[in-house]
Amino acid sequence: MQTTIAFFGGIYNNYLALESAIADAHARHVSQMYCLGDLGAFGPYPDRVFPLLIENEIQTVQGNYDHSIGNALEDCQCGYTDPRDNHFAAISYDYTLHNTSPENREWMKKLPEEIRFTWEDKTILLCHGSPRKTNEFLWESTTSTAFLERLVNEQNADIILGTHTGLHWHRRLSNNRHFINVGVLGRPENDGTTNVWYTLLHLKTEGNGQENDSVSVEFIPVVYDHERLAREMDSENIPAEFIETIRTGWWTTCLEVLPAKERRTGKY
Ligand SMILES: [Fe+2]
């Protein structure tokens, strides 16, 4: 037996990238698609994301952004302290809040904080930041393997998947267990390229001593019409700094949360 499952991270209103990722995942004959939350933020027209998720039966975890918008809270709970980051975070938050319909806000409000399912003998846990805190940033350079081993033990999970940071990565743990950050569809990865990313999880039945091959992870680059997104952001008066990120692949705001190693590879 084998199966392939698709995971989409933060959408950040980038409905065009979501459309492309769904089409790509369909073409690869995935058995199921999941979204790990943060539907709103930098991009235009928040309401265009919801029909894509609903019509394609994409089960969705509630991100910190979705909890905030769903409950009309003061801010996105992104945890910024730098005044410039807070300034830009507030602009996209207010835009998203005012352009998300009451029906869609209600839908977000009811999303689960985690989704758990099993495939054969494996337990798979989907969260947003980490299973212990929705808005926890787990970065590749600062997250120890010992911590992740403890997390999978505490959660009784074989595979934990999250998003929230904006950068994809994968750590193989003991006993064929895994932690995966699935990346985001909302904006590029601060690497000077305009594509975004989603994740495929390939699962197959263990046997013949091939346990280490029964789980494999594939990160998929998504090319989409980023010029159209940039034009639409411009027509919605979304800040030029966000549009620059879509057009160049470099993050221009909300950089304070990046650890030194991840920040060194960026332009700003
Ligand atoms: Fe988040």
What domains can be seen in the chain, in order of their start residue?
Answer: 2-252 (3.60.21.10)
Strand-pairing partners, residue 169, are 181
Give φ, ψ of 141 to 5 degrees: -75, -20
Contact 124, 61 (CB under 8 A): no
Give residue 91 CA to ligand 1 midpoint distance, Å: 16
DSSP reduced 3-state for 33: strand
Say what the pTM is: 0.96
Whole-number Å distance between alpha carbons of 86 and 66: 18
Q: How far is the CA of 42 from the centre of ligand 1 (A)?
A: 12
Centroid of ligand 1 to alpha carbon of 1 (angstroms): 34
Q: Do the beta carbons of residue 58 and residue 31 sit within 8 Å?
A: no
The CA-atom distances, in angstroms, between 190 and each of 62, 107, 154, 261 are 24, 31, 33, 13
Q: What is the pLDDT of residues 104-162, one digit of tens each?
A: 999 999 999 999 999 999 999 999 999 999 999 999 999 999 999 999 999 999 999 99
Q: Are strands 59-60 and 32-35 parallel, antiparallel or unpaired?
A: parallel
Distance 174 CA to ligand 1 centre (A): 27
Pairing relation of β-strands 159-162 and 177-181? Answer: parallel
Q: How far is the CA of 69 from the centre of ligand 1 (A)?
A: 12
Report the alpha-carbon distance of residue 34 to residue 59 in Å, rounded. Answer: 5
Per-residue model confidence as pLDDT tens digits over 35-48:
999 999 999 999 99
Q: How many A from CA of 209 to the centre of ligand 1? A: 38
Three-class SS state of 113: coil
What is the distance in A from the centroid of ligand 1 to the CA of 36? 9
All residue ranges of the chain with pLDDT < 70 are 208-212
Span from the CA of 10 to the centroid of ligand 1 (angstroms): 7
Query: What's the CA-to-centroid distance between 113 and ligand 1, angstroms?
Result: 12
Residue 257 Cα, ligand 1 centroid: separation in angstroms?
Answer: 12
Helix intervals (H) in 99-171: 102-109, 145-155
pLDDT of residue 208: 63
Tell me the sheet residues that pair with 161: 126, 180
How many angstroms does the Cα of residue 129 sit away from the middle of ligand 1?
Answer: 6
CB atoms closer than 10 angstroms to residue 44 = 24
CB 258 within 8 A of CB 138: no
**Contact indicator for 220, 17 with CB cutoff of 8 Å:** no
238 CA from centroid of ligand 1 (Å): 20
**Residue 62 alpha carbon to ligand 1 centre in Å:** 9
Closest CA to 89 of 260, 256, 267, 265: 256
C-alpha 38 to ligand 1 mean position (Å) = 5
